[in-house]
Amino acid sequence: MIELIVSDMDGTLLNGKMKVSETNAKAIKAAMNQGIHFMVATGRGFTEAQPLLKEVGINCSFITLNGAQVYNEEGSVIQNIGIDKQSVHEIVAAIKKRNLYCEMTTSNGIYSDNKAKRIESVASLLFETNPDTTYKMAVVLAAARLEIMNINYVEDYEELVHDDSIEVLKIIAFSDDGRKVLGPLTEELEKSGELAITASFVNNIEINNINAQKGIALEAAAKKLNIPLENIMTLGDNFNDVSMLKVAGYSFAMENAEEEVKTYAKYITTSNNNDGIAHAINLALNDQLDSAKSPTFVERTE
């Protein structure tokens, strides 16, 4: 019996146009009308995530920044897990040593030290997820999106390191060379044992406190709601979703998910561009989950 549905956003709930489709919204509302709780778990910050759900009339709680922040349905923060400032200093130094661009999400919003690179990173994402969109058009769309998003710009991230009033919750680094460059960076940063490093796309890594993970935040939320983990459905497509796929009784990977991520899911649904969320919810509500079982799932005991 499913009592809680938890969905990732990019590559999962959102289609290639970065929207929640009408079909997905309708299925979510149908589940909520049956008394099933719905929650979003995303690497995005709240100000980037909440408007996209509000746009389709869905009010829900949020796990944001991969678990660094949790918001209730009223939009109030109920949990913050940041990265200590010495670690922030060392992370930025390692990123800059490789001449890579990065952004920080903090208790005071999102910060960038390069507006052009900010637009370029969003444009690359839009271009990669929308084959029919030219890169030039993606840049135009990215610039337009940034105009309505609350982005703060600083000359140097050391300003944030030395500001005791601001807590750094997540750092995201980008590289068009993907794992070739980001893999060694990940290995270097993981040596501290204090960081959780995942990815939401092939061109980034997302860096959090080791205790800021979607699965950990989900377990805490389920405990507060008095919902057993076996009665939870989770849906995701990338490595920052693995921790919540592993703990839920009903775990779905999108058809467009990374192949390794699919091995952690018990079920496979259709792609994010083919209303995969609605497909999974409808299978669950109609007791047809056997038809979506993942051939790659292996029961794990760790």
Angle at 206 between CA 205 and CA 211, to 5 degrees: 140
Q: Which two tokens stand for residue 89?
A: 């200093």
What pLDDT does 207 receive?
Answer: 97
Q: 75 phi and psi, to 5 degrees?
A: 85, 20
> pLDDT digits over 49-90, tens only?
999 999 999 999 999 999 999 999 999 999 899 999 999 999
Of the CA atoms within 13 Å of residue 128, those in its CB half-sphere come to 16
Q: Which two tokens stand for residue 1?
A: 């019996």
3-class DSSP assignment, residue 172: strand
**What average pLDDT does range 171-175 have in this prediction?**
94
| CB-CB neighbours of 290 under 10 Å | 8
Whole-prediction pTM: 0.81
CB-CB contact of 217 with 79 (8 Å): yes
> Distance between alpha carbon 80 and the CA centroid of its chain, in Å?
16
Amino acid letter, 263: T
CATH code of 85-209, in short, is 3.30.1240.10
What pLDDT does 78 receive?
Answer: 92
Of the CA atoms within 13 Å of residue 231, those in its CB half-sphere come to 14
CATH code of 4-81+213-292, in short, is 3.40.50.1000
Same fold, 4-81+213-292 and 85-209: no
* C-alpha–C-alpha distance, residues 151 and 156, integer Å: 15
> Distance between alpha carbon 263 and the CA centroid of its chain, in Å?
19
* C-alpha–C-alpha distance, residues 50 and 171, integer Å: 20
Q: What is the mean pLDDT of the chain?
A: 90
Residue 27 is classified by DSSP as: H
- Tell me which of 181 and 290 has the higher pLDDT: 181
> pLDDT digits over 198-229, tens only?
988 888 999 999 999 999 999 999 999 999 99
Report the percentage of the chain scoring pLDDT > 70. Answer: 89
* Per-domain residue ranges of the chain: 4-81+213-292, 85-209
Nearest to 66 by CA among 150, 169, 151: 169
* C-alpha–C-alpha distance, residues 215 and 287, integer Å: 25
CB-CB contact of 220 with 211 (8 Å): no
Residue with tokens 């709680």: 61
> Distance between alpha carbon 197 and the CA centroid of its chain, in Å?
12
Nearest to 108 by CA among 66, 70, 160: 160
Of the CA atoms within 13 Å of residue 266, those in its CB half-sphere come to 18
| CB-CB neighbours of 275 under 10 Å | 21
> pLDDT digits over 245-284, tens only?
999 999 999 999 999 999 999 999 999 999 999 999 999 9
Strand-pair partners of 168: 106
Alpha helices in 162-207 (DSSP H): 179-190
> pLDDT digits over 114-152, tens only?
877 777 777 666 666 666 777 666 556 655 655 446 688
Per-residue pLDDT for 288 more than 70? yes
What does each C-alpha distance from 61 to 69, 80, 286 come to in angstroms? 11, 15, 25
Per-residue pLDDT for 46 more than 70? yes
Residue 199 is classified by DSSP as: -
Q: Are strands 232-236 and 4-7 parallel, antiparallel or unpaired?
A: parallel
